[in-house]
Structure 1
Amino acid sequence: MGRNLSSLKLRQNGNQQKRESKKEIKKIANTQPKKHDSESSSLIYPNGDTAFKSILSARFCSAIWLHITDCDETFNYWEPTHYLVFGKGLQTWEYSPEFALRSYTYLLIHAVPAKIYQKLFNPNPLLIFYFVRCLLGLLCSFVEVYFYKAVCREFGVHVGRMCLAFQLFAAGMFISSTAFLPSSFAMYMLCTACAAWWTEKYEFAIFATALGSLLGWPFAALLGVPIALDMLFVKKLYRTFLQWSAISAIAILVPMVIIDSMHFGKLVIAPWNIVKYNILGGAGPNLYGTEPFSYYLVNGFLNFNFVWVLALSTPAALVLSHYFVPSRNKSTLTLPHYISLSPLFLWLVIFFTQPHKEERFLFPVYPLICLCSSITLDIVQKLFFRVWSYIKTFPQGTHYLDTTSFIMIGTFIITSLLGLARVYALYTNYHAPLDIFMELNRYPGEGKIPETAAINVCLGKDWHRYPNSFFLPNTNWNVRFIKSEFDGMLPAPYSQTENGTKIIHSHFNDKNQEEPSLYFDIAKCHFLVDLNLGRESVLEPIYANKKDQWRVIKSIKFLNVEKSHRFFRAFYIPFISDRYLTYGTMHLLQTIKQSRIK
């Protein structure tokens, strides 16, 4: 009994000593200056609220002014969403139950708010389109400010404030932030996952990665590989990784499979189907065109100008920094650069080598482009200060930012002006299709056409510029396709029945083969949208010249790419660009035979 009491006292004393030791360690840790504290106290940088307001303003500008940059956004996302909200829309072969490449679950997270808005206020469909876009801009703003705070913590506030500035003015962020595309959703989730990873919230990082890849774009799982390697081989967090991978998969996939299977009328795992089609023996995306290696180099410069050049230079800059910049303190808080920035370069290596290239494929890593360019610019400033210190003697304690701010400011001015020039060029050169279809919304409201009239709006060679059915005044208006030189697969109207998403139509195929039954008789068209670039053929005449058949209602200029200077069509330079640009005219035409509109 005595020995038991003695051993109990020894254990109690030992536990008490352990608790006291932990308290002492915690007290010592709290007295140590946190990483970047000295830098934070001397630098002016936006706090979270200011950063959020700035980002939100930029994203709302995108929501309002950006045109639809990719027809895939129109036909694979806006059109089926219009069907979910109004019971009418265009369907692509990817949504045929025979192939089931796309997920209705992803659509529903956008369609549900749109449906609620529609039920509560019964607005013009056009307002629903901009409502959803603004929601996307709001979501993007939340994740970007979370990303910004994590960058400030991990890489320092100087890098953080530069990254924020690049995000605000980059044309690439303007384009991707409010695009209704899984690649944009993957970008939101990458911001979230990286921020959680750098702040050691590993569970959240895993869930965000799973959300971006399962609900968004399956190939975005590649961006989570560095996080997984860090957790498994560096941190040894086996249990956390396996547990949260399983939790994320179950929490996301189970509802997805249930919802998608209900819509398609059979068991469907959409992420697996798209991977199978693109990689594992499917027809593959190369049917829709291939691009040279230089495609992304050019596209990256268009969307980020010299920010892109700085980002691609980051590996070389880090090597120079290692050898020539004295490292009194760690330049990162949690992870070395080669780990924390690896998602970007892993992504670029994979997608640069793919034959089929599209601008949206790089959307997920756009924030990392801004981050890498900021790190490179910071290293340039440090290297310049080191070289300059050999030439000129500075007082003791002089910080490199005290003498190199002109490099940062000059870079901001140049990149921001080029970013704004790109955004303005996109608006003035390519916004005409949205403006043309907005014009149609006036007709029922002004009493020019009865609300109940069944109206056919036709498109020929410009089918891929159609914004979406939210731009039509009501569900009595129909978009139709007439024959042109295009000989690939076109979308078709959803069957307007309760099981419309479950019907397998014979007119769909996965080979991009033309289906003649989808063409509409031009004699039954009430309106026609046609772009006049000064050339015509038998199948693509200049309809505005057929004055006995069509009357011009609205004309808006649209860039003639082939006859315009490459640089000045990409970046609008006031007082100069107009001399080097040639425009065609996009016409809204109305049939002369008014008796057909009843």
Structure 2
Amino acid sequence: MRSSSTLLLVALLLVSRLFVQPFYSLISDCDETFNYWEPLNFLLRGFGKQTWEYSPDYSIRSWAFLLPLYASLSPIRKFVGALGLTPSTLFYLARSLLGLYSFVMEWLLFCELETTLSSHTATLWLFFQVFNPGWFHASVELLPSSFAMVTMLGFLKYALRYLSNRSEKAFVQALIFNFVSGILGWPFVLILSTPLVIHYIFTHTIWGVLSAGVASFARLVAVAVCVFAIDSAFYGKFTPVAWNIVMYNVIAADEKSGPNIFGVEPWYYYPLNLLLNFPLPTLGTCAIGIITNIRLVSIWGSLLIWMAVFLLQPHKEERFLYPIYATVSLAASVGAVNVWKRLSTSKHLRNLSFLILHVSIVLQSSMRVLALVSNYTAPLDVYSHLPNNGGPQTVCVGREWYHFPASIFLAEDSRLGFVKSGFDGLLPGDFKETHSIFNSIREIPYGMNNQNVFDSSKLVSADSCDYYIDIMLPSDGSRDVLDPTKLGSDWKCIYKAPFIDSSRSKFFGRAFALPEKLLAILPGQKYWTRFYQAYHLDYCIFERQNEYV
């Protein structure tokens, strides 16, 4: 019989994953937009932006990865139009499906924790998951790293079972989830199973190792054949996307191509990201869990190997840490239970300590999530309010191109256009709109390269724009063809939403948020405002007024 607190956490998790996150979470990375939402929109509606990664010359993005969502949304699409709903309805439905997948996988791991470790550990894990700011946005993002993050919950489930009973079946099942995460999602997560494999080798006979090895290899081949066959059918040639990703990012990377051309970060980038995406008490109890529970060393080893490998990579992105998020929560729950046991001699101290732990986690998590929603979701709001006047329309962006959420927000006859701006890298082109999706995918697009070299053919003339979307900040007149602060009478802002002004806001004002009414009554404002201030700018839709003059 589960406690009322556990059932409450399950309900909160369900509501968050299926309703709150799909509608209120941000898009944190333009890679999600242009490499996943755009091709998904192309499959569903026949148009969208195409990045160089989808050129058959490079083919480092998987169409197989998009098929589950496409198969789910395709039957629904005609009803969306028939009911008069906006195309963005498909976007939110897709996010709800991603959230549902996360909830199901989290529930399965929770049940395993109850059996393998303890009900207390399982309940604490649920708590850490519900109040996990990183998971709040990552679990509904359409990214291979997000898919790997959620799918690796299955790996953890069966890894725990294997460590409990040492069975070959549980070991192989754990590896299957790792293979699916890596081959269909992100190939680098395959290294996360290394410590578990080493554990199996050193704790079983040679015949047991050979038996498990053959069974695991057979599953790996089966997963790879299915995924590679689907992608090869789309690209019209043999296409092992997972291998192509490794080739581009590791083996063939040099100073002109590879991940480093998109920017490098110092070693402390990832520790800072963990501090933002996990409450401090969660990270503290995570460290305690790793130190105090040696039985799970092969799971903790996955986390440590991941951090060691990615700290050494010059190019760093927040999403690269997603696959270890669940392990952080698991270690935190194990650590918290160990602290609970050590405080058992003093009931009052134990209860007070855990009250402080829970309250501080809820507060820090809530402030972080509130900041993400209030400071960074303006693009989703603004593009949701684009008018549909009927007939072809061109929606233009300049320097704010990377905040475009997806063409799934545009009407059937609207298209996104890039106008000249200060950005001098390679912009996405357009999937060719023909009667055959396969022909469009297989055709080598013009002006693509893997060196981020600018191509002017991706731009449109500002005269062709019916709408222009930008943030209300002066732009560089020598590089930006349109300045939102100097637009003439032929342009009118028809909708706006607040977006954080990073240049004027303090770090804590950008990263965390408190309700304005609470801020107004807090004492000592002249002191804490030195560290906490948040200023916002208008994120606007400008409509061309020529036809009305």
| TM-score, with structure 2 as normaliser | 0.89
Does residue 374 in structure 1 map to residue 333 in structure 2?
yes
Match of 1:455 among 350, 375, 393: 393
After superposition, residues 187-266 of structure 1 pair within 5 angstroms as: 187-200=149-162, 201-236=170-205, 237-266=208-237
Match of 1:471 among 394, 400, 409: 409
Structure 1 residue 439, shift from structure 2 partner? 0.7
Moved more, 113-122 or 367-376: 113-122
CA distance in 1, matches of 2:188, 2:5: 34
What SS class does the counterpart of residue 508 from structure 1 fall into?
Answer: coil
Contact kept? 1:543, 1:550, Cα under 8 Å: no
Contact kept? 2:289, 2:338, Cα under 8 Å: no
What SS class does the counterpart of residue 101 from structure 1 fall into?
Answer: coil
Moved more, 423-432 or 306-315: 306-315
Letter in 1 for 2:276: L
Contact kept? 1:533, 1:560, Cα under 8 Å: no
Structure 1 residue 535, shift from structure 2 partner? 5.3
Match of 2:264 among 287, 290, 297: 290
What SS class does the counterpart of residue 501 from structure 1 fall into?
Answer: helix
RMSD, matched Cα: 2.2
Structure 1 residue 519, shift from structure 2 partner? 0.8
Letter in 1 for 2:76: Y
Match of 2:362 among 409, 412, 416: 416
CA distance in 2, matches of 1:543, 1:577: 31
When the two structures are aligned, how many residues end up with a matched partner? 517
What SS class does the counterpart of residue 68 from structure 1 fall into?
Answer: coil
Structure 1 residue 545, shift from structure 2 partner? 2.9
What SS class does the counterpart of residue 199 from structure 1 fall into?
Answer: helix
Structure 1 residue 589, shift from structure 2 partner? 0.1
CA deviation map 1:438-490 (0-9, x unaligned): 111xx33xxxx22xx1100000000000000111122x100000111110011
After superposition, residues 38-57 of structure 1 pair within 5 angstroms as: 44=3, 52-57=10-15
Contact kept? 1:103, 1:270, Cα under 8 Å: yes
Letter in 1 for 2:270: Y
Match of 1:281 among 241, 247, 252: 252
Structure 1 residue 531, shift from structure 2 partner? 0.6
The equivalent of 2:16 in structure 1 is 58
The equivalent of 1:365 in structure 2 is 324
After superposition, residues 335-414 of structure 1 pair within 5 angstroms as: 336-385=295-344, 403-414=349-360
Moved more, 257-266 or 226-235: 226-235
Moved more, 262-271 or 151-160: 151-160
Structure 1 residue 75, shift from structure 2 partner? 0.4
Letter in 1 for 2:175: I
Structure 1 residue 144, shift from structure 2 partner? 0.5
Go from structure 1 to structure 2 and tell me whether the alpha carbon gap of 1:589 and 1:170 turns closer, same or farther (over 3 Å shift): same
CA deviation map 1:370-401 (0-9, x unaligned): 1112222333344445xxx5xxxxxxxxxx66
Structure 1 residue 433, shift from structure 2 partner? 0.6
Does residue 571 in structure 1 map to residue 517 in structure 2?
no
Match of 1:531 among 461, 467, 471: 471
Letter in 1 for 2:261: L
What SS class does the counterpart of residue 28 from structure 2 fall into?
Answer: coil
Structure 1 residue 133, shift from structure 2 partner? 0.6
What SS class does the counterpart of residue 380 from structure 2 fall into?
Answer: helix
Match of 1:269 among 224, 240, 264: 240
Task: Quote the sequence identity (%).
Answer: 29
Match of 1:109 among 68, 91, 95: 68
CA distance in 2, matches of 1:311, 1:176: 22
Letter in 1 for 2:179: A
Structure 1 residue 246, shift from structure 2 partner? 2.7
CA distance in 1, matches of 2:179, 2:304: 20
What SS class does the counterpart of residue 562 from structure 1 fall into?
Answer: coil
Go from structure 1 to structure 2 and tell me whether the alpha carbon gap of 1:138 and 1:276 turns closer, same or farther (over 3 Å shift): same
CA deviation map 1:386-425 (0-9, x unaligned): xxx5xxxxxxxxxx66751221221111111111111111
CA distance in 2, matches of 1:360, 1:148: 24
Match of 1:85 among 44, 55, 58: 44
What SS class does the counterpart of residue 468 from structure 2 fall into?
Answer: strand
| TM-score, with structure 1 as normaliser | 0.82
Contact kept? 1:166, 1:307, Cα under 8 Å: no
Go from structure 1 to structure 2 and tell me whether the alpha carbon gap of 1:536 and 1:121 turns closer, same or farther (over 3 Å shift): closer
Go from structure 1 to structure 2 and tell me whether the alpha carbon gap of 1:527 and 1:115 turns closer, same or farther (over 3 Å shift): same
Does residue 127 in structure 1 map to residue 89 in structure 2?
yes
Go from structure 1 to structure 2 and tell me whether the alpha carbon gap of 1:66 and 1:239 turns closer, same or farther (over 3 Å shift): same
Match of 1:519 among 459, 467, 479: 459
CA deviation map 1:95-121 (0-9, x unaligned): 000000011000111111111211455
CA distance in 1, matches of 2:419, 2:281: 43
Gaps of 5+ in 1: 1-40, 319-330, 390-399
CA distance in 2, matches of 1:83, 1:489: 20
